[in-house]
Structures are given as structure tokens and as C-alpha cells.
Structure 1
């Protein structure tokens, strides 16, 4: 790392790269965006001009050979995450990768092996963990203000039309890793898991209701947790009124979040239980206004890197989230409940989210 600022490069300059560039700009006192990388050099040049980036490279190898980068943001299609991240690790360069970090549990475990052989680390983008409301919820849960977690609801009910699936890498297990379970709802149930901790068992269904996709366009799961909580998780791309909802029923309060692609404090609702008015005060007391998003996570990552600590969310922690996605598919396609740890390395649903294939394929 340079003496004053982290030198950041963005690899893949499609739509989501703009969120990453905006996050770097928001952290301009601690980070510089020094390079853009894309196999489409014209697109990379246009992106570099838009964000005032001094260098453009046609490939990751060219960037790493130049040796002027501390942190690479991977904004490429999901199937490229593992080889690109592994190349960064071999060069001892830290990685912040878009979701999903890998297309399968086996790929994630292989990347963990590569990480152990490197001085660098891979961090996964799960930006909804970092808004001030989520941080406060975890604080109150940890210090016992809320009591025991009992019931939770997690709904990512969005709408994507047929045209959305016309892009070749969408709607396949081989390139995207799955449908809304992997590509859309994963953000919401990652936040659910960050609050409730390790899951224990899942029973699920998945269906292709309306879209021209080889994956599901709807999945529904019932999940139990080690702490005794139970939750339902719904992921949909066929829902005209789009919303993202989380609800946590604790002994002492109900905490709710409703938004679409990102939230602020105003999107949270706190309903104290009888004689539990102190919960509302504890929630509001000194609550900062930090919206969920890439800027909030990048700020936390830079804090950790400056302190020489593991950055959030590390691969090992993201594994809990990816394993739940794999278990939803395994349960739905085998019509059997799946426990955490059942999907051992080399097994069908560890090798591929869709296992041997969806029932309709």
C-alpha cells in the first residue's frame, strides 16, 4: 500500500462498477481509483473518462504486472470471479469481489485454499450489513436488549421481464450460479444471517413460474437456526410490486426493514413489546445516518486494512451465506431437508448449485 492512500483498481466496467467507483470517490481521503480494466477497452476508456481514472488496462495480468495497485474490485460476471481472484491472490493483492463470490461451495473452498497460501485476502460485497440500522440491530441483539430471536421473515420479491434474461450469462447455473436465490435474494438473506448467525436446517421449494430461464424464478425456504430462531425466505423475480423486506420478532420487540435496493434509517420500524418501551429509546439513542451501500462497506474495509485486520466480509464468513443458497437448491430439487454441513466437498450440490439439474431442465 502507498504511504497515504490505498490504490484501487476496478476490473469490469459494466453497470455495477459505477457503484464501486462512487464508493471510492466517497472515501477519497483514504483511497485513489488508479486503474480501470476491461476486455472491452473502449468501454474501459469511457469509464475511465467518466470517473477521471488515470490508467486503463485490457486485462488483469497487465494491471498486476504494473504493480501499482493495493486492492482490486471485481465487477465482472460471476463465472470469472474465481480465476481473477486467484490471480490477485497469487500476486498478494487484496480483492473485493461482487456477489456471488463463487458459483459453488467447492469453488469457494478452493479459493479459501488459495487465500491461505497468500498474504492477501478476498472480501465479499454484502453491503446491506453496513447500514446504521443493521449495525444497531446487531448491537441490540448482542447486548440482550431485544431478548431471544423467535421468528424472522426475509422477502426479496422483485420483477424482471423476459428481456432481462436475453443476456447470455443470465439464467444459467453454469455462468450466473442460479436465479433469484443466488443473484438477487442473497443480499437480503445474507443480512438475515449476519443478525441471526449460523443456520441449522432448511426445507425449500423452487419453481420456474413464468420466465425463460434454466434456473428458478421463485424459491421459498423454511430455515432453522442454531439459536432456536425460525425464518422464512422468499426470492422472486415475478412480483410486479417490488420490495425487499426483513422482519425480526424478538421476545421484546419486532424490528422491520422495507426497502428495494438499499436502505436508510427511515426504512426501519421498531415496535416494542408490552412494557418494553425502552427498546425504542435504545434503538434511537445516538443512531448515526449511514445508508446501506458500497460506500459503507468500502469504508469498513479500508478501516480494517489500515488496522492490519481481516476486512469484512471475509470468504470464510461468506461461506455461511453461500452454503444456505446451495442448501435451498439441494432441498428444493431433492425434496428433502438439508442440514448445514451436509453438502460435503465433491458432492453434487457442492460442485454446482443446481446439482445434477433442475427438475424442468
Structure 2
């Protein structure tokens, strides 16, 4: 497989953009040739830090003046859809930070735009690509763990009132939702990448403490097409912060607990009685490399080298976005929601809060 050298740009130079710049520079497979931001002082400082010679005030200016293969979109969420569509129309692949859109309808607009170009949209959900997640999928697919039976997925983080002083945070119009959209998405997307398509959701959501329009806590019971069942918890009111997943299979329990990124040392395996070989299989190929943007970006380049859509593809990400819409639908209507039930004319397809959060009425 021939490895290309890619020309990359970053739009939006806030905190997460630094992880992208470091991943691009560390890859050896791309050159960061341009950055854009509406804040002239910030974009200049960012460009100087990463030795980027070309700065722009907007994506339009960047696309009009630069030849790039990839654009990393690191802007606030409400800008993701129009900027990604502009990239697609210019024939440039867009790598979009989470959440990729504010609604399921917006995500479907991205899918439609992608159909009319050779470029792609990929969502940044980097925890799928850590060594532990790759090993777990491999062992599961090989049948070494037996059937998946039960899983728990907890994102219990803490964000204080000062965090929500940033104007675009904590509103349906600019962020699309609370911790379900912007925080827990990493963990339950990893859950879905392991257990596959979900079938049904029953959920609650609440505004317990934070000065926001969105929820600050949500919980869901999920069934999967393969018969497994799971709980999903998303919170920004939990002083002891953790990101935790547990998978109970017929032959072993596999767990990971971390905060914003894991290594193999954060995973544990507990074999069922008489299944000690599972531990030996898990220990093979132990890695100290943390999950993060580096592993995800390497997978992006590998896919593009093969002429394929880069991960996480629109098909994969839509399953995760549909789950978010289903969680809010169930929480705000009190109904159980099945996969495929939220049609294009549903208010919960157009906005994640649908007909409105109960506390806003």
C-alpha cells in the first residue's frame, strides 16, 4: 500500500485544535499547511506555535487560497454542519470533532452532501482506536470471549458553573445537548463499536444542578441486536470523575476505567471459572500507547491510502447520533424508542430536545 503525504488544515484554534495539530505533526504522514480562526490574535499564536505559514479568517478564505486534502474542524458544534458541507463541495475531506452535528436531520444533510462528492466526512471518536479496544474487538470477533451478555458504560465527569460561562455551552441551539452530546459520546460510541447495532432505548434525563438549558445528567437502558443489554450514564455533576466501561461475556469480564484516554494498563480481565486462557490471550501484544488522536488519525490515513472512507464513517457515526436522539426522545416522552423509529419529520430529528425539555416548559 502506497503511503501518501497529505496536506492538512485546521479550522478553529481552541483547546482541542492542539491535539489535532500535535497528531498531524507527529504522524509523519501529513503537513499542516494552513489554519483559520475568526480570532486573529489566537490564530496567529497557534500558527507560530506549530510553524504554520498560512493563516486565514475563515474556511472560505482557506479553501479559496490553499490546496488541501483534509480539513480538521475544531470549531464550536453549531458550525460543524455548514463548514463540513463547504469542505465537501470543495472536494476536501472534513474531519469533524464531536458532536458532528446538532441534530439527526443535520447529520443526514451531511450524508446527502457526501453522496455528491468524492470527499468524505469522518467524526473524531478516537477511543475506538486505542490498543485495548482493538484487542477486545479482535477477541470478540474470534469467539474467544463467548457471547456478550451485559455492559455498563459510565461517563461521570464534573463541569462547574464557570465552564458554562462560555456562551455556546449548555444550550440546545449551539451545543445540541448536554453531557449526552458533548461528553458521554466518546464512551457509548466505543460501546457501540464493540457490541454493534443497538435495538431499543429507555431513558431519563434531568437538569440537576448546572445553570444550563440542556440536561446535566442522563441515563439509558439499551438492548442490542445481538441480545446484549447495557446501561449508559452521562453526567457533568460527579465530583469523582471517571470514564468506565464493563463488558460481561460468557467467558470473562473485560473492564476499562480512565478519564480522557486509556492505555492497556487501564484495562482488566477477569476470566470466568475454568477460562484462564482468556487472560493469556489478553496479555498478548501489551501496549503502553495511550488512546487518542494519534491512533485515530493513523487509521484515517490508512483508509485514505486504500481509497476508502476514513473512520469514523457517516454510517458508523449516524448510529451513535441516532442513539442520542432516541435517548432524548425516550427521556422527554416517557416512551421506549426503537432504532429507526425517529423519522425525518419527527421533532426529535430536527432538534435533540424535540418538543422541548420538561424543565423548559
TM superposition score category, shorter chain reference: over 0.9
Give the whole-Å Cα distance in 1 for the aligned partners of 2:67 and 2:56: 12
Give the whole-Å Cα distance in 2 for the aligned partners of 1:119 and 1:240: 46
Q: Is the 2:99–2:182 Cα contact (8 Å) retained in structure 1?
A: yes
- Indicate the larger mover: 305-314 or 74-83: 305-314
Give the whole-Å Cα distance in 2 for the aligned partners of 1:149 and 1:20: 34
CA shift at 1:41, angstroms? 1.5
Q: What residue is the counterpart of 1:23 in the other structure? A: 23
CA shift at 1:359, angstroms? 0.2
CA shift at 1:286, angstroms? 2.2
Give the whole-Å Cα distance in 2 for the aligned partners of 1:278 and 1:91: 52
Matched, 1:218 2:209: no
Q: What residue is the counterpart of 2:159 in the other structure? A: 160
Q: What residue is the counterpart of 1:7 in the other structure? A: 7
Q: Is the 2:265–2:288 Cα contact (8 Å) retained in structure 1?
A: no
Give the whole-Å Cα distance in 1 for the aligned partners of 2:12 and 2:128: 24
SS at match of 1:69: coil
Q: What residue is the counterpart of 1:231 in the other structure? A: 230
Q: Which runs of 5+ in 2 are unaligned?
A: none
CA shift at 1:299, angstroms? 0.7
Matches within 5 A, 1:184-203: 184-203=183-202
Runs of 4+ in 1 over 2 A off after TM superposition: 286-290
CA shift at 1:287, angstroms? 3.5
SS at match of 1:16: helix
- 1:187-207 superposed Cα distances (whole Å, 9 cap, x missing partner): 000000000000000000011
Give the whole-Å Cα distance in 1 for the aligned partners of 2:41 and 2:345: 41
Q: What residue is the counterpart of 2:126 in the other structure? A: 127
CA shift at 1:4, angstroms? 5.0
Give the whole-Å Cα distance in 2 for the aligned partners of 1:337 and 1:26: 45
Give the whole-Å Cα distance in 2 for the aligned partners of 1:166 and 1:154: 28
SS at match of 1:249: strand
Give the whole-Å Cα distance in 2 for the aligned partners of 1:328 and 1:4: 41
- 1:304-358 superposed Cα distances (whole Å, 9 cap, x missing partner): 1112112110112100001111111000000111000010112111110010110
Matched, 1:251 2:250: yes
Q: Is the 1:106–1:346 Cα contact (8 Å) retained in structure 2?
A: no
Matched, 1:117 2:123: no
Q: What residue is the counterpart of 1:89 in the other structure? A: 88
TM-score by length of 2: 0.98
Matches within 5 A, 1:1-361: 4-27=4-27, 29-361=28-360
- 1:177-236 superposed Cα distances (whole Å, 9 cap, x missing partner): 100000000000000000000000000001111110101000000000000000000001
Number of aligned positions between the proteins = 358
TM-score by length of 1: 0.98
Q: Is the 2:4–2:305 Cα contact (8 Å) retained in structure 1?
A: no
SS at match of 1:312: coil
Q: Is the 1:136–1:287 Cα contact (8 Å) retained in structure 2?
A: no
CA shift at 1:67, angstroms? 3.5
SS at match of 1:64: helix
Q: Which runs of 5+ in 1 are unaligned?
A: none
- 1:147-202 superposed Cα distances (whole Å, 9 cap, x missing partner): 00000000000001111111111111111010000000000000000000000000
